[in-house]
Amino acid sequence: ASSLSHDQLLFLYNGIPYPTTFCSPEVFKALESFEARSDDVILAGYPKSGTNWLSQILNDLIDISQKKTPGREGSANAKELAEFPYLEVGDAEKYERMTKLPSPRFIVTHLRPENLPKSIFKNKVKILLLIRNPKDVATSSYHFSNSMASLPSYETWDDFFTNFTTKKVPWGCYLEYLSEWNKYIDKENIMTVTYEEVKENRALSVKNIAAFFGIPLTEEELQLVVERSSFQSMKKNSEKTHGPMGNIFFRKGGVSDWKNLFSEDQNKKMDKVFEELLGGTKIGKKLKY
């Protein structure tokens, strides 16, 4: 993790902290006028909720559908944009370059809905919203932040937990993130999927996601997507897909690792905030929390 102080590594945009090493106020400004296309494929998920996993699945699905489109071989977009599908990460000219990309453009975002460009909602772009048990997200974030040079480092888990629950972490408070997205959960252009359900039955999730984006799949194609998105397979390919340090994106890939870090007191604290912000909400129920 970085030697810069926690505060030096974060800046505020609409009151939410973002990491200076990935984002900037100039890029956020340019993003406001981004024109989304109705056939963009958007994956929305907070960091460490499994965005690389679902990106793998969506990229393969786009590839499959492109191969069947006359005149197209594979997803040109997936290849050209492979270095930065993350909407808010990059330089301010990125959005201009994106206007030249063929459809469907694949876009990933960690942003909360109120910080996304308005055209996404105006044009009713389909969004796959990925959510994960906040305790596992916190656990995953803690380990990731300490192994990534450009993110803040935390001496102890208790330090991280305090920052996570007091909202002083990159991309802001996850429970607030969920509560903001809950306002959109009933919209027909949004499909919500939990990390836990994909873990339980990947084939079923892939089938449902393909159906939502209108991508027909043969049994063979389904099996291919399922195999390529296994934790083992993605970890094995991580250097190729994510560079020499790629393995840090594929740590344990399981459910309930939080039990190895949370104290009883921290567990109760998190439950309390969850109840306050998400008790009785649809998104809260989906998390089977």
Provide the binding-site residues for ligand A3P, judged by CB under 6 A: 45, 47-53, 136, 140, 143, 229-231, 234, 249-253, 257
SS3 130: strand
Q: How far is the CB of 100 from ligand A3P (least distance, A)?
A: 27
CA-based nearest residue to 130, from 183, 189, 195, 184: 195
Residue with smaller CB distance to ligand A3P, 249 or 274: 249
Which letter does DSSP use for residue 177 in this model?
H
Residue with smaller CB distance to ligand A3P, 38 or 147: 147
Tokens of 19: 């990491």
Residue with smaller CB distance to ligand A3P, 211 or 248: 248
Q: How far is the CB of 250 from ligand A3P (least distance, A)?
A: 5
What span, in angstroms and rounded, lies between the C-alpha atoms of 94 and 91?
6
Q: How far is the CB of 116 from ligand A3P (least distance, A)?
A: 17
Q: How far is the CB of 118 from ligand A3P (least distance, A)?
A: 25
Residue with smaller CB distance to ligand A3P, 3 or 260: 260
Q: How far is the CB of 230 from ligand A3P (least distance, A)?
A: 6
Residue with smaller CB distance to ligand A3P, 30 or 152: 152
Q: How far is the CB of 236 from ligand A3P (least distance, A)?
A: 11
Reduce the secondary structure of the chain to three states and give it as a string: CCCCCCHHHEEEECCEEEECCCCCHHHHHHHCCCCCCCCCEEEEECCCCCHHHHHHHHHHHHHHHHHCCCCCCCCHHHHHCCCCCECCCCCCCHHHHHCCCCCCCEEEECCCHHHCCHHHHHCCCCEEEEECCHHHHHHHHHHHHHHCCCCCCCCCHHHHHHHHHCCCCCCCCHHHHHHHHHCCCCCCCEEEEEHHHHHHCHHHHHHHHHHHCCCCCCHHHHHHHHHHCCHHHHHHCHHHHHCCCHHHHCCCCCCCHHHHCCCHHHHHHHHHHHHHHHCCCHHHHHCCC
Residue with smaller CB distance to ligand A3P, 51 or 75: 51
**Known catalytic membership, residue 110:** yes
CA-based nearest residue to 232, from 41, 106, 2, 53: 53
Active site (catalytic) residues:
110
